[in-house]
Amino acid sequence: MSALTALAQHVTRRPQRIALLAQIAEQGSITRAAKAAGLSYKAAWDAIDELNNLAGKPLVVRTVGGRGGGGAQLSDEGLRLVALYKRLEALQAQVLQAAEDDADLLLLGRLMLKTSARNQLSGTVRAIRAQGRNDLVDLELAGGARLRAQITRPSTEKLELQVGSPAVALIKAGWVELQAPTEASAPELNQLQGWIEEILDEADGPSEVRISLPGGQTLCALVDPTQLADRTLRVGDPVCAVFSPQQVLLGTQL
């Protein structure tokens, strides 16, 4: 894969940035291009810096000119990137026309997601509540279970989250604590009810516990074997998976 192709794949996740490049080629001005692409002046400069850094060579050649933003034009690499994106758009349109079901496309997007977090639970945003500079995002999982993620407001805006949006909750296995369903937990914590499907004991280290959730999804927890023994938790037992909203990362499909 060429560097240009890899960069094209990156920017296809951020179509506004391609729109910014195309507008720079047309307008010859960062200020006017930012306005046409729906970006703030600062966001446009930040995007250009990131794209130039990712490319390893300038995609945008600019001259600083005070409040007006100066002039700008695309380099040869920038022009090729915009042309490549337009070809990718045409191919994407063909794929969408050939797809029989939107659910298939959503599933494909989830399967292509790469992350270091062991747990990836897909769901739908049901509410977004402001908490100071943060947002508390309420996600409904398959089967009706709910979890909450606390993320910054800029993250909410970057992910373009809104009620009804699909999203993926990412939770590291080491962040999940297991309790018996009768144990009391702080109400601000996430509490997912399920049952223990499998326990994989390691010779040296925590046990890996697989928990089946009502909607058919699976949650993995890394638990000290002594904690399992203390709570007498065994395969087949009902269990409550507890973790903080601050320990939930959110992702959206491309």
Domain membership flag for residue 195: yes
Domain membership flag for residue 153: no
Radius of gyration of the chain measured on its C-alpha atoms: 23
Q: What band does 58 get if pLDDT is binned at 50, 70 and 90?
A: confident
pLDDT tens-digit map of 180-237 = 888 877 889 999 999 998 898 877 788 889 888 888 888 889 988 888 888 888 899 9
Q: Give helix 3-11 / helix 41-55 axis angle, nearest 10°.
A: 150
User: pTM for the full model?
Assistant: 0.58
Domain count for the chain:
2
pLDDT tens-digit map of 108-137 = 555 555 555 678 888 899 999 999 999 999
Last residue of a domain, one of 50, 81, 98: 98
**Residue closest to 47 by CA, chosen among 80, 72, 83:** 72
Last residue of a domain, one of 60, 78, 98: 98
Last residue of a domain, one of 98, 125, 142: 98
The yes-or-no verdict on residue 155 having pLDDT over 60 is yes
198-233 residues labelled b (16+ CB within 10 A) or e (exposed) = eeeeeeeebbbbbbebeeebebbbbbeeeebeeeeb
> What is the residue-averaged pLDDT of the chain?
81
**Residue closest to 8 by CA, chosen among 44, 75, 43, 54:** 54
SS3 state of residue 230: helix
Q: Which domain holds residue 42?
A: 3-98
- What amino acid occupies position 113? L
Q: Are 19 and 12 in contact (CB under 8 A)?
A: no
